[in-house]
Chain A
Amino acid sequence: MMFLEHNLTIEQLIQGCRNGERKAQESLYKLYAAKMLGVCMRYATDKMEAEDMLQNGFIKVFNKMNDFRGEGSFEGWVRRIMVHASIEYYRKHHKMMQVVDIDTAHDVQGVDPLASSNLGVKDLLALIQQLPPGYRMVFNLYAIEGYSHKEIGEMMTISEGASKSQLSRARTILKEQIAKLEGKRYENVG
């Protein structure tokens, strides 16, 4: 860990960032960039989009550094900011694509079945990234982040019902895609 190598605690890094020290900011970025890009990748369609989300998220982190009161883990605080930055990005760029016909959603491209016998991280990530943006947001927030439909409704400014509906459709698509992948794998093996 970088901050351990430099004998700096996370508190010292935070204080350095609050003082506007470039080195502290860079160290903090390097400490969390990979983890937070992993979060953003689930909300994005590709790495380029995820990096845009990450960039916006880190700008918020550094601007709101004084808002962190030490309640809960700092990483959890940064992660929440990244999720909100991803939602904001989605609102800006994908709002028009929110309503996707369930039939067209079935036509998402399948994942390469030879990539892994069991569904690996890359396959699952690819499946999520191929979901329609609205479904992807709700599925991520509910299944992975653990937010309730009420919270998701507030965060995305949609109704609870819409959140439930989108989650249900997302699950259906994912199940179909997984079945398709496993079926192809069995075909190739057989």
Chain B
Amino acid sequence: MKMSDKELDQLFSNQLNDLEVEPSAELWGKFMPEIPGNKTRSGLGPMISIAATLLILLTAGLLFMPRTQKLALHGTYDPQQTINEAVAAVTQQPSATDNLPDEPAEQPTEQQPVNATVVSVKHPVSRKIETTTTDIQPLVNPADSIQKLTLVKPVNISKPERHDDIIKPISVNTIANAAPKTVPAVNPIKALAANTTPEVKAGQAVKRKKIHSLGDLLNVVIAKVDKRDNKIIQFGQNDDDEDELLNVTGVNLGPIKVKKQN
């Protein structure tokens, strides 16, 4: 049988033009790395990164933000400053604090801030006395009360609820110590001092310490920023390890707190 060129071409063209052959299964994986591009269709990748960064920054910000407590007092003077000064005066002279119950009126003029504090505190105390029992009333020196009440700002009287922070510990002490020969006017000072001195003392202790080393310097700087009891990092004295420049004695990363016991 003789076949023309055209017939031959058509035979092959018709049969092989639409030929399909399955490639080996591994072929795609073999040359895929040579093709540019490995992007995923998900557009969430960058968004998640940004969200994670923001979360970390916010957490760090909240964690290291110095905690300040504001007293919402309306007045022409700053009661917090007054309290701090009073407490500072008390803590600087521990003997004065010890002697206060016995000699409450012996430091009248020099420790004016103390009186101011007492007065601001005294108002609810005296009110409490009035409402509870009349037996206690004589315990309060009337003359002293009158003298001190003159220093009371009208605002403090008109808005007693704003003294909540101060009143609570004092009122408890007042009731607890409502025994005879107890001067209520003094106990509040002790209670107040007990409540406020740890923070103040810690800060002042750092301030008072003489700076001998780089660790001390860092402690002072950190104490300025971090007002917590346990600072983010604390350094101790390098007594033994002279080779070490810094001796870390405490770390406080919020949930993780490590403190070296001396």
B11 touches which of A26, A63, A124 (Cβ 8 Å): A124
Does A59 lie within 8 Å of B35, measured CB to CB? yes
Which residue from chain A places its CB closest to the CB of B28 in the assembled complex?
A29
Closest residue of chain A to B38 (Cβ to Cβ) is A22
Q: Name the segment of A37-45, A86-94, A106-114 touching the other chain.
A: A37-45
Q: Is A166 an interface residue (CB 8 A)?
A: no
Would you call B37 and A34 a contact (CB within 8 A)? no
Complexed CA–CA distance, A124 and B23 (Å): 20
A139 to B16, CA, bound (A): 12
Over the window 111-137 of chain A, the binary record of Cβ atoms lying under 8 Å from chain B Cβ atoms (1 yes, 0 no) is 000000001110011001000000000
Residue of A21, A26, A35, A42 touching B16 (CB-CB under 8 A): A42
Q: Are B21 and A37 in contact (CB under 8 A)?
A: yes
Q: With an 8 A cutoff between CB atoms, is A171 at the interface?
A: yes
Interface residues of B in 29-46 (CB under 8 A from A): 30-32, 34-41
A101–chain B nearest beta-carbon distance, Å: 22
Interface size, B (range):
20 to 34
Question: How far, in whole Å, are A143 and B12 apart by their CA atoms in the complex?
Answer: 8
Q: Does A9 contact B (CB under 8 A)?
A: no
Q: Contact: B39 with A19, CB < 8 Å? A: yes
Bound state CA distance, A19 and B43, in angstroms? Answer: 13
Binds A, one of B2-10, B105-113, B123-131: B2-10
Residue with the highest number of chain A CB atoms closer than 10 Å, among B3, B24, B27, B35: B35
Q: Does A33 contact B (CB under 8 A)?
A: yes
Bound: A26/B13 CA distance, A: 29
A144 and B32 in contact, given A41-B21, A54-B27, A171-B5 (Cβ under 8 angstroms): no
Residues of B within 8 A of A39 (CB): 19
Query: In the docked arrangement, what's the CA distance between A182 and B2, Å?
Result: 12
Q: Collect the chain A residues with CB atoms within 8 Å of residue B11's CB.
A: 119, 124
Asked whether B12 lies within 8 Å of A124 as measured between CB atoms, the reply is yes
Q: Which of B1, B3, B16, B37 contacts A121 (CB 8 A)?
A: B16
Contact A144 B3 (CB under 8 A): no
Interface residues of A in 137-160 (CB under 8 A from B): 139, 142-144
**Is B243 part of the contact surface with A, judged by Cβ < 8 Å?**
no
Prevailing SS type, chain A contact patch: helix
In-complex Cβ contact of B28 among A21, A26, A121 (8 A): A26
A47 interface residue (CB < 8 Å to B) = yes
Question: Chain B residue with minimal CB distance to A59?
Answer: B34
Question: Looking across the interface, which residue of chain B has its beta carbon closest to that of A178?
Answer: B3
Distance from A126 Cβ to chain B, minimum over Cβ atoms (Å):
11
Which A residues are CB-close (under 8 A) to B20?
Answer: 34-35, 37-38
**Does any Cβ of A come within 8 Å of B81's Cβ?**
no
A164-177 interface bits toward B, Cβ cutoff 8 Å, 1 = contact, 0 = none: 00000001001100
Give every chain A residue within 8 A of B13 (Cβ-Cβ): 143-144
**Closest 8 interchain pairs by CB?**
A20-B37, A38-B19, A143-B9, A34-B20, A55-B31, A37-B21, A62-B35, A38-B20
Q: List 11 A-B contacts (CB under 8 A).
A: A17-B37, A33-B23, A42-B19, A54-B27, A58-B35, A124-B11, A125-B19, A144-B9, A144-B12, A171-B8, A182-B1
- Interface residues of chain B, those whose CB is within 8 Å of chain A, are 1, 3, 5, 8-9, 11-13, 15-24, 27-28, 30-32, 34-41
Mark A residues whose CB is within 8 Å of B. 16-17, 19-23, 25-26, 29-30, 33-35, 37-39, 41-42, 47, 50-51, 54-55, 58-59, 62-63, 119-121, 124-125, 128, 139, 142-144, 171, 174-175, 178-179, 182
Given A22-B40, A33-B22, 7 more contacts at CB 8 Å?
A42-B16, A47-B21, A50-B21, A62-B35, A143-B13, A144-B12, A174-B12
